């Protein structure tokens, strides 16, 4: 029986061990081979040996050294200390905790191409969980049942391993396997940086957790080094006043990343319609300049991106964002819209995201954070008709035109509006046609049920069409509704989520459009190029630097001659 029990022990342990690595393998479907033979049978001998310890092929043929050591320790010694039931409780909790961590790490690293830090990621996990619960609605019952069944099966397997442990006899082969795993784990921890955790073959979830905690503590310490008093040192001189006050539209185009002109499948089409949009604007007296920004994020967390631009500092992650968000005195700092309010602007924010009215959204806090006087929310839009993708949400063309009409009716002085578009959000299910009459998009008789598709697998082929729609309805809006003293900032927040290209390519396009040629020409100083093609820009600008460049251009062009310009901070407020 000892030999059979030993074989059974290793077989069941392999099943539990492989579950750690299935999630990443599934996320990399189409990019990783199930069997990692290619790297073992070709290439230089040294490279092949290295492939046994670390590889970018995210297969399941890896080892969770922690769990292996725990279960082997029970066979060799701990079965004399704990009963099978007692140890099953300990081992099952350990397995569940480390498995959840493994899934979290794999998902966040894959999606955002950044080293996961619980300090930054905890807020996003809570938001994602709320969206998940909302979106799956009644299906959550079956998902919960499935999760409980899965957990129960894994627990029973662990219990069975504990029960047969007394009959397990490790031979020379078993000890060789154990030694390779333990020594491999020690080697991988010593040899490779913590951010290589998903690639190493002999993985230690505990070691990764420790590094995560250390990194989180360091991030927290860095955040605390930036105080409100330090930020206020960079406030604009109170004597600076704009003598002319152009209306300002700050529009963040969701998921508008440089992938659109880097990837061959999008590039050709993009470069075909961009010159046409530029010419249409120019024919009506609009001047344009474009550049490429360096985003603080890669494939998600839009609020980190646009908060960096509005505040003039690299927000970096959730820790700093929440610190700003929770500070009741944050309006003492000259974020873009707070400064515009002090200049006499009426500030607006359009939020057309639908479907989440049952979730508590702290609009009062957001108003403080972003300097917003007035909101236009989903139910204010009076829209009935087909909705799209995340939310789901009305067509962006409809939302923007509706907001413009409302703002014009209710505002007498200069106005500034912020809007992050919705229809180009993953999964990129978007309208494709720009209509002549935006009100025709409303259909009073439309009654079909509509659900958000935030968790749907995005279709890469739709991404190019979604961005084309964004740029076409935005430039159409500028031509039809723009006034002589309007300034439009159209900027991407990040690469498309879950489709992001290499981490070093986190740049996004930006376009500045105005009838004031002098205002537009001054952007050359910051690496912008004439026209609507950002692919021609040879330099990039950090998103946090957009804040300082915009303030300098506004003051330089519209304030009294000789007014004190703020310092240009190419990397934002230092901290």
DSSP 339-352: HHHHTT-EEEEE--
- What sign for the dihedral angle of Cα 241, 246, 251, 252? negative
Cβ contacts of 227 within 8 Å, gap of 6 or more: none
The whole-number pLDDT of residue 465 equals: 94
Residue 438 confidence (pLDDT) above 70: yes
Helix (H) / strand (E) element for 226: namely none
Separation of alpha carbons 134 and 246, rounded Å: 41
- Asked which of 142-146, 438-442, 527-531 is least confident by mean pLDDT, the reply is 142-146
**Are the C-beta atoms of 352 and 395 separated by less than 8 Å?**
no
Q: Spell out the long-range contacts of 226-231 with Cβ–Cβ below 8 A and sequence spacing 24 or more.
A: 226/313, 226/320, 226/323, 226/573, 226/575, 228/327, 228/329, 228/330, 228/332, 228/333, 230/573, 230/575, 231/313, 231/333, 231/573
Angle (CA) 374 377 382, round 5°: 120
pLDDT-wise least confident of 40-44, 84-88, 312-316? 40-44
Query: 345-402 pLDDT, tens per residue?
Result: 999 999 998 876 667 788 999 999 999 999 999 999 999 998 988 878 999 999 999 9
Q: How confident is the model at residue 234 (pLDDT cuts 50, 70, 90)?
A: very high
pLDDT tens sequence across 99-110? 999 999 998 888
pTM of the model: 0.84
Q: Are 510 and 487 in contact (CB under 8 A)?
A: no
| Per-residue confidence band for 518, with pLDDT thresholds at 50, 70 and 90 | very high
What is the distance between the alpha carbons of residues 460 and 428, in angstroms, rounded to a whole number? 8
Q: Worst-scoring range by mean pLDDT, 131-135, 175-179, 188-192, 361-365? A: 131-135
According to DSSP, the residues that pair with 247 across neighbouring strands are 486
Q: Which H/E stretch holds residue 252?
A: strand 247-253
Peptide bond between residue 374 and the one before it cis (omega within 30 degrees of 0): no
Output the furthest CA–CA distance in the chain (Å, rounded): 93
**pLDDT > 70 fraction of the chain, expressed in percent and rounded:** 94
> Do residues 382 and 402 touch, judged by C-beta distance below 8 A?
yes
All residues at 6 or more sequence positions from 94 whose CB lies less than 8 Å from its CB, including other chains: 66, 67, 70
Phi/psi at 384 (nearest 5 deg)? -130, 125
Q: Is 508 helix (H, G, I), strand (E, B) or coil?
A: strand
Instruction: Tell me: pLDDT of 478 over 50.
Output: yes
For residue 489, the cross-strand partners are: 250, 512
Domains of the chain from N-terminus onward? 2-221 (no CATH), 225-558 (3.40.720.10)
At 501 the pLDDT is 47
Q: What is the pLDDT of residue 456?
A: 59
What are 512's strand-pairing partners?
289, 489
Q: Is the dihedral of CA 573, 336, 310, 509 positive or negative?
A: negative
Which band of pLDDT confidence, cut at 50, 70 and 90, is reported for residue 467? Answer: very high
User: What per-residue confidence (pLDDT) applies to 418?
Assistant: 97
Residue 324 has pLDDT above 90, yes or no: yes
Where is pLDDT greater, at 16 or 144? 16
Sign of the alpha-carbon torsion through 91, 92, 94, 95: positive
Q: What is the mean pLDDT of residues 416-434?
A: 92
Q: How confident is the model at residue 502 (pLDDT cuts 50, 70, 90)?
A: very low
Whether the Cβ atoms of residue 168 and residue 19 lie closer than 8 Å to each other: no
Cα-based distances in Å from 308 to 317, 323, 376: 10, 13, 23
pLDDT over threshold 60, residue 504 = no
* Cβ proximity of 373 and 415 under 8 Å: no
The residue to which tokens 């692919």 are assigned: 535
Give the per-residue pLDDT at 460: 75
The mean-pLDDT minimum among 83-97, 132-146, 530-544 falls in: 132-146
Percent of the chain with pLDDT over 90: 69
Higher pLDDT, 533 or 30: 533
CA 297 to centroid of chain Cα atoms: 6
pLDDT of 75 strictly over 50: yes
Average pLDDT value for residue range 189-212: 92
Return the closest-CA partner of residue 321 out of 219, 211, 252, 195.
219
Cα–Cα distance, 91 to 341 (Å, whole number):
58
**Residue 102 and residue 197 in contact, taking contact as beta carbons nearer than 8 Å:** no
Report the alpha-carbon distance of residue 215 to residue 221 in Å, rounded: 10
Q: What's the rounded Cα separation, in Å, for the pair 88 and 529?
A: 64
What is the mean predicted confidence (pLDDT) over 194-220?
A: 92
The pair of three-digit structure tokens given for residue 90, joined into one six-digit string: 């300990």
Mean pLDDT of the 87-102 span: 96
Question: Is the pLDDT assigned to residue 166 strictly greater than 90?
Answer: no
DSSP-derived letter for residue 567 is P
For position 159, what pLDDT does the model report?
95
State the pLDDT at residue 136.
62
Q: Mean pLDDT for the chain?
A: 90
pLDDT tops 90 at residue 251:
yes
Token pair, residue 219, equals 């991030």
């Amino acid at each position: 029986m000892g030999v059979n029990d030993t074989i059974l022990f290793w077989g069941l342990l392999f099943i539990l061990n492989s579950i750690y690595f299935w999630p990443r393998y599934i996320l990399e479907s189409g990019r990783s081979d199930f069997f990692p033979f290619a790297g073992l049978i070709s290439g230089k001998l040294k490279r092949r040996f290295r492939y046994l310890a670390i590889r970018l092929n995210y297969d399941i043929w890896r080892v969770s050294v922690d769990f292996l050591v725990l279960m082997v320790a029970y066979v060799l010694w701990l079965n004399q200390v704990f009963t099978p039931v007692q140890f099953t409780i300990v081992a099952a909790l350990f397995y569940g905790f480390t498995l959840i961590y493994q899934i979290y790490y794999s998902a966040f690293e894959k999606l955002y191409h950044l080293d996961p830090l619980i300090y930054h990621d905890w807020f996003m996990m809570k938001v994602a969980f709320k969206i998940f619960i909302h979106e799956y609605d009644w299906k959550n019952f079956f998902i919960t049942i499935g999760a409980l069944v899965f957990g129960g099966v894994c627990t029973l397997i662990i219990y069975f391993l504990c029960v047969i442990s007394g009959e397990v006899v490790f031979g020379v082969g078993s000890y060789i396997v154990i030694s390779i795993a333990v020594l491999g784990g020690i080697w991988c921890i010593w040899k490779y940086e913590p951010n290589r955790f998903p690639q190493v073959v002999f993985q230690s979830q505990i070691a990764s957790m420790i590094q995560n905690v250390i990194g989180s503590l360091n991030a927290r310490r860095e955040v605390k080094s930036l105080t409100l008093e330090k930020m206020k040192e960079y406030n604009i001189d109170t004597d600076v006043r704009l003598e002319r006050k152009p209306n300002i539209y700050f529009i963040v185009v969701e998921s508008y990343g440089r992938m659109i002109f880097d990837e061959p499948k999008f590039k050709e089409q993009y470069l075909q319609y961009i010159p046409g949009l530029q010419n249409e604007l120019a024919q009506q007296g609009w001047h344009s300049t474009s550049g490429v920004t360096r985003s603080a994020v890669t494939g998600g967390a839009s609020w980190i991106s646009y908060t960096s631009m509005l505040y003039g500092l690299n927000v970096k992650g959730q820790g700093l964002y929440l610190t700003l968000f929770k500070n009741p005195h944050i309006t003492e700092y000259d974020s873009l819209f707070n400064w515009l309010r002090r200049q006499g602007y009426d500030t607006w924010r359009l939020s057309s995201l639908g479907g989440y009215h049952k979730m508590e959204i702290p609009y009062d806090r957001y108003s403080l954070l972003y300097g917003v006087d007035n909101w236009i929310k989903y139910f204010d839009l009076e829209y009935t008709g087909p909705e799209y993708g995340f939310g789901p949400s009305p067509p962006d063309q409809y939302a923007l035109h509706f907001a413009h009409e409302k703002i014009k009716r209710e505002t007498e002085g200069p106005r500034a509006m912020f809007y992050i578009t919705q229809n180009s959000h993953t999964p990129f299910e978007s309208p494709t046609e720009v209509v002549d009459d935006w009100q025709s998009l409303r259909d009073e008789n439309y009654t079909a049920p509509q659900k958000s598709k935030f968790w749907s697998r995005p279709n890469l082929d739709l991404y190019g069409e979604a961005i084309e729609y964004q740029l076409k309805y935005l430039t159409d809006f500028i031509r039809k509704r723009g006034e002589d003293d309007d300034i439009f900032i159209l900027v991407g927040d990040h690469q498309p989520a879950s489709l992001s290209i290499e981490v070093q390519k986190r740049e996004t396009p930006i376009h500045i459009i105005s009838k004031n040629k002098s205002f537009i020409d001054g952007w050359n100083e910051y690496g912008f190029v004439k026209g609507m093609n950002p692919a021609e820009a040879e330099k990039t600008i950090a998103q946090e630097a957009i804040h300082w460049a915009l303030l300098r251009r506004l003051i330089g062009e519209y304030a009294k001659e000789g007014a004190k310009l703020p310092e240009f901070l190419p990397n934002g407020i230092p901290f």
